[in-house]
Amino acid sequence: MIAWNPSLSIGIQEIDEQHQAIVGLINELEANKDSQDPTVAIDALRFLREYLHGHFDLECELMLDICYPDLESHKQQHELFINHVIFFEIENEFGVVTSVMLSDILAFLNDWFVSHIATEDRKLGAFVRTRAMTK
């Protein structure tokens, strides 16, 4: 279980709310991680695909707006994330056991997504604040 905490907040309300939804998904998967029901993993992957496109687009628009210097490397991380979700979808089609699938998705979200929020997205939030102060 992950409790939403200040170290995950980037200080931009709309983005924080979207990150909270991901934390909600992580906690939901955690609660169902021993499930044998294949729809749990399928639903989670569908959610990630649909939700994250909008989320990554929003961050990209913001980065473009403010001429964010690390835009390219940040975008690359998003692409890696999407590719990983596609990889899970392929694994799922090949019938990887649901509980293995769920623990892999959870480990990935915990490692990758949470550290992306806590480092890269927070760096972006800090840049937005500094920029607002110097205006």
Q: Is 10 in the site for Fe ion (CB under 5 A)?
A: no
Report how many residues bind Fe ion under the rule CB under 5 A.
2
Q: Is 121 in the site for Fe ion (CB under 5 A)?
A: yes
Site for Fe ion in 12-71 (CB under 5 A): 59
* Residue 55 CB, nearest approach to Fe ion (Å): 6
Please state, as a whole number, how many other Cβ atoms lie within 10 Å of the Cβ of residue 102. 23
The answer to whether 111 touches 49, Cβ cutoff 8 Å, is: no
Residue count of the chain, please give it. Answer: 135
Comparison of 45 and 59: residue with beta carbon closer to Fe ion: 59
The answer to whether 101 touches 92, Cβ cutoff 8 Å, is: yes
| Window of 29-37, 61-69, 99-107, 115-123 that interacts with Fe ion by CB under 5 A | 115-123
Q: Where are the alpha helices (DSSP H) in the chain?
A: 13-31, 38-65, 71-93, 98-108, 114-116, 122-133
* Residue 51 CB, nearest approach to Fe ion (Å): 11
Contact positions toward Fe ion, by CB under 5 A? 59, 121
